[in-house]
Amino acid sequence: MDAESQRILEYLTEVEEAAEDVLTTKQQIVDLDTKRNRNREALNALKTELSDSEKVKVCFGNMFIKFPKSKTREMIEKDQEQLDKEINELRKGLKEKVNRLNEMQGKPELRGYHLSPLSSDEIKAMNSLLNR
pLDDT tens, 46-97?
888 766 668 888 888 889 988 888 888 999 999 999 999 999 999 989 988 9
By the 8 A CB rule, do 108 and 102 touch?
A: yes
Report the Cα 56 to chain-centroid distance in Å: 28
pLDDT at 41: 92
Collapse the DSSP code of 41 into the 3-class scheme (helix H, G, I; strand E, B; otherwise coil) and give the result: helix
The strand ranges marked E within the chain are: 55-60, 63-68
Cα 121 from Cα 28, distance rounded (Å):
30
Per CATH, the architecture of 3-130 is what? Answer: Orthogonal Bundle (1.10)
Q: Cα–Cα distances in Å, from 126 out to 14, 112, 120? A: 45, 21, 10
Task: Find the helix or strand (DSSP H, E) in which 64 lies.
Answer: strand 63-68
pLDDT tens, 2-57?
888 899 999 999 999 999 999 999 999 999 999 999 999 999 988 887 666 688 88
* Residue whose C-alpha is closest to residue 53's, from 37, 66, 38: 66
Domain boundaries defined on the chain: 3-130
Would the pTM count as exceeding 0.75?
A: no
Going by pLDDT thresholds of 50, 70 and 90, the confidence category of residue 119 is confident
By the 8 A CB rule, do 111 and 102 touch?
A: no
By the 8 A CB rule, do 36 and 83 touch?
A: yes
